[in-house]
Amino acid sequence: MVKFITIMVKCFIICHAIQLALGISVRNPLTVVVFLCCLLLHRNCRIDVKRNVRFIITAVSVLVSVGVLVMIAGRVTDAFENKLFKAAAVAILFFGFISLSELLIKTGIYIMSGHKIRADIRLFPKIRWTRKIVINRKMALIVSALICFVCWLPYFLYEFPGIMTADSLVQYEQITGVRGLSNHHPVIHTLCIAFFYRLGLFLTRDINKAVSVYTLAQMIFMAFCCARCVVESAVISDAGAQRDGDVSREDDRILVGIVPLAVLAFYALVPFNAVFAVTIWKDVPFAGIMMLLVCCLMDIIRNNKENYTMLAVLFILFSLFRSNAWYAFILTIPFLIYAFRKNIRNIVTAIVAVLLVVTVIKGPVMDIAGVEQPDFVESLSLPLQQVARVLVDDRDVSWGDLRLIDEVIDRTYIHELYAADFADNIKELVRAGHPEVIENNKGKYFRLWLRLMLKYPGEYLAAWYDLEGGYIYPDFQYDVGNIDGIMGNDLGLVSTPLIGGKAVIKTKEILIKLGAFLPLYGMIWSLGTYSWFLVLSLALTLSSREYRKYTVVQLISLMIIVTLCIAAPMVDFRYGYGVVMTIPIFAVLCGNMEGENNVQL
């Protein structure tokens, strides 16, 4: 195991050196390809060489590395301002190219010796359960939740009473009556904030401390959701261990192994989870609901339990906490019916209940309560952006179509306002004009959109990719978790950190920025990575007769990605945060498949 870890470290250093040398971002998929290729060569080319030959290989590798440094070190270090980072970059280049040269020379010797590079070799050794540690499921849930909460606590103390952006402040204004209730930000989430805020206000008589009560409640909720996923991963991996004969038990306790510990580490230690846990956004509790929904479905499928009431409740919350989730649920209905066809009465009853409850709440209930619904323009992010792209590129548009456009907007400033990766500018331009014209003539403007699409498909595709491409391709640059405090406001809300100092600030800054500096690790800071893995895991489960039944669970996350690719106003990590938090379950599921316990090439 120690030898394998040494190989992994060498492959990582080579990968990092090549990433720096090529000047590509840490989110570029090429970094993964380089790492896996290096690992493949290391696992293949196991040769023993004499000491003098080893010395020659090392000497040549050092000379090659020095030569590379002379050629590119200046260009690479210019990208960093901090002297420590400059020195680290030089060290990585030096040792990385030494390791790469040694690997390539040994590979050449291996091939010239008559050996072949095997493509089917196991890249990762199978982990045997040498130590049987079992724990009660409830205890595992509590311990995991406690670990997550403790790991996130410093962020809460530093960001006290919580992180609030413009969206958070709009919801706070609704709670305090400054503006009326609106479902633009799900009113059910606004009401949740209001409940804990008023509880906190009753207990403390201080608005900032009152906000912190909601933040704490959200942290506890998310900690238990993460813990539930840790337990689920333990159950899945435990089943695999028993199937492979590594353990044998008849009780309902779970085996504590490296898999659930890795899942726990992801939830507890990756910094963006801690930042989001203390940020007042709808996307955070929605992610928790998605995690519980996935675990509930997994439990029903695995144990044939008739827990359809809980499933219906979770689907209702799922549909109410995000607008696109409602459409994702509708798209998933045929797959749910097929997957649970043996319990057709139960699943149809649950689906009908969800449809009725959500429709009634979104319709009559909100109308009676005077809740304002999002305007029609809000749902037109992508089509408006595509039409605007045609105009901004100065393409030929017929006089009749220009007249239709002019009835809605003033085109004078469209070149200045258009932003390829942000749809809100064009939406605000429409709102400043006559959005009711589109709403009252939907068919006419749909035909306008369709005509321009058929005439300029390239512009439409480019507009879509610039706006939504980050949901399907990892190498898009955007900040994740790089937010602090409470946005300036006139509401009396201020950030009052309970811990601080240069050390705390610098530590937090480094933890957040590591995602932009370290290859491989940087991939988990990109939504596109999770989309790729989701598609890969879906393909693997479809190919397995034993695990095909779990496909419907993955489809829920896939439909969230699909709806984001159709309607999101920009690429934002938090919009897909629910998908991010469920991926560890699918990773464990795929790694647990018969004959697929290890990644192979």
What tokens appear for 38 in the block?
């290096």
What residues have CB less than 8 Å from 65, skipping those under 6 apart? 93, 94, 95, 96, 97, 98, 101
Higher pLDDT residue, 54 or 11?
A: 11
What tokens appear for 315 in the block?
């689907």
Is residue 474 within 8 A of residue 526, CB to CB? The reply is yes
Q: Is it the case that residue 131 has pLDDT exceeding 60?
A: no
pTM: 0.92
Single-letter amino acid, residue 317 = L
Question: What average pLDDT is seen over the chain?
Answer: 90
Quick one: pLDDT at residue 252? 61
- SS3 of 78, please? coil
* pLDDT tens digit sequence for 52-64: 878 898 899 999 9
- SS3 of 137, please? helix
What percentage of residues in the chain have a pLDDT greater than 90?
Answer: 77
What residues have CB less than 8 Å from 75, skipping those under 6 apart? 23
Q: Is it the case that residue 569 has pLDDT exceeding 80?
A: yes
Which residue from 516, 392, 526 is spatially nearest to 463, judged by alpha carbons?
392
* pLDDT tens digit sequence for 273-292: 999 999 999 999 999 999 99
Confidence grade of residue 256 (pLDDT, cut at 50, 70, 90): low
* pLDDT tens digit sequence for 328-384: 999 999 999 999 999 999 999 999 999 999 999 999 999 999 999 999 999 999 999
Quick one: pLDDT at residue 109? 85
Quick one: pLDDT at residue 601? 34
* pLDDT tens digit sequence for 300-316: 998 776 789 999 999 99
Which residue from 290, 293, 305, 295 is spatially nearest to 340, judged by alpha carbons?
305
Quick one: pLDDT at residue 254? 67
Q: For residue 531, what is the enclosing H or E element?
A: helix 527-543
Question: Among positive and negative, which fits the CA dihedral 478, 482, 486, 489?
Answer: negative
Q: Is it the case that residue 250 has pLDDT exceeding 50?
A: no
Q: How far apart are CA 432 and CA 417, in angstroms?
A: 13
What percentage of residues in the chain have a pLDDT greater than 70?
Answer: 92
Q: Is it the case that residue 125 has pLDDT exceeding 90?
A: no
Quick one: pLDDT at residue 239? 65
φ, ψ for residue 546, nearest 5 deg: -70, -35
The mean per-residue pLDDT over the stretch 543-568 comes to 94
Q: How far apart are CA 334 and CA 337, in angstroms?
A: 5
What tokens appear for 516 in the block?
């932009």
Quick one: pLDDT at residue 45? 74
Is residue 556 within 8 A of residue 581, CB to CB? The reply is no
Quick one: pLDDT at residue 80? 83
* pLDDT tens digit sequence for 63-90: 999 999 999 989 998 888 878 889 999 9
Quick one: pLDDT at residue 600? 36
Quick one: pLDDT at residue 598? 41
Quick one: pLDDT at residue 117? 67
Confidence grade of residue 545 (pLDDT, cut at 50, 70, 90): confident
Q: Is it the case that residue 596 has pLDDT exceeding 50?
A: no
Is residue 16 within 8 A of residue 99, CB to CB? The reply is no
Quick one: pLDDT at residue 51? 77
Confidence grade of residue 132 (pLDDT, cut at 50, 70, 90): low
Q: How far apart are CA 378 and CA 435, in angstroms?
A: 11
304 burial type by CB count under 10 A (0-12 exposed, 13-18 middle, 19+ buried)? exposed
C-beta neighbour count of 213 within 10 angstroms:
22
What Rg do the C-alpha atoms of the chain give, in angstroms? 27
Q: How far apart are CA 429 and CA 436, in angstroms?
A: 13
* pLDDT tens digit sequence for 458-507: 999 999 999 999 999 999 999 999 999 999 999 999 999 999 888 999 89
C-beta neighbour count of 299 within 10 angstroms:
16
Confidence grade of residue 127 (pLDDT, cut at 50, 70, 90): low
* pLDDT tens digit sequence for 141-172: 999 999 999 999 999 999 999 999 999 999 99
Q: For residue 135, what is the enclosing H or E element?
A: strand 134-135
Quick one: pLDDT at residue 89? 92
Which residue from 456, 465, 355 is spatially nearest to 396, judged by alpha carbons?
456
